[in-house]
Amino acid sequence: MLPTPKKFFLTAAGAEGHSELTAFDNALLAGRIGNINLLRVSSILPPGAELDNGLVIPPGSLVPTAYGYIISREPGQLIAAAVGVGFSKDAFGVIMEHSCIGTKEEAGREIEKMLKEAFATRGMELADIKIAAADHRVREIGCVLAAVPMWY
């Protein structure tokens, strides 16, 4: 069993590659999470987890991460991804991810709507929102991702 994460950060980045996998890998590297092993998790930020924008995770670590991404092979296409964390005053947080053909602003607005809905559905008060978003104009094969890696 994994321990409950105590720290996290938000990241969003885009990159090109010569294949879909290398575009994804390059976006991970641009987002400071390219040398860790992502364990994809769903949407709950543990109670008391602290935002640490300078967090450095050891290479090769198994890291619970909520993330979304989009890959495109259409030159000139604008792709975007965003991730957001909604915070309650005294309980856990909620994480939402979104990727789309469009701008980082559009992706960010969608995240805000999804977080408001998630809190309303849970009957919780939304105290604050943090969002990270990026967009990328595809040249050959592009990828944009947004993620919330969580650490101990």
Average pLDDT of the segment spanning 124-148: 98
Q: What is the pLDDT of residue 2?
A: 81
Q: How many structural domains comprise the chain?
A: 1
Tell whether 83 is covered by a domain.
yes
Cα–Cα distance measured from residue 65 to residue 48, given in angstroms and rounded to the nearest whole number: 17
Q: What CATH number does residue 19 fall under?
A: 3.50.20.10
pLDDT higher than 90, residue 35: yes
2 found inside a domain: no
The answer to the question of residue 97 being in a domain is: yes
Full domain range(s) for residue 35: 7-151
What pLDDT, on the 0 to 100 scale, is given for residue 68? 98
Q: Decide if 36 is inside a domain.
A: yes
Distance of CA 28 to the CA centre of its chain: 11
pLDDT, tens digit (0-9, with 9 covering 90-100), for 15-29: 999 999 999 999 999
Binned at pLDDT 50, 70 and 90, residue 118 comes out as very high
Task: Report pTM.
Answer: 0.96
Q: For 84-98, what is each residue's pLDDT tens digit?
A: 999 999 899 999 999
Report yes or no on 134 lying in a domain.
Answer: yes
Whether residue 22 lies inside any domain: the answer is: yes
Residue 65 pLDDT exceeds 90:
yes
Catalytic residues: 37, 42-43, 97
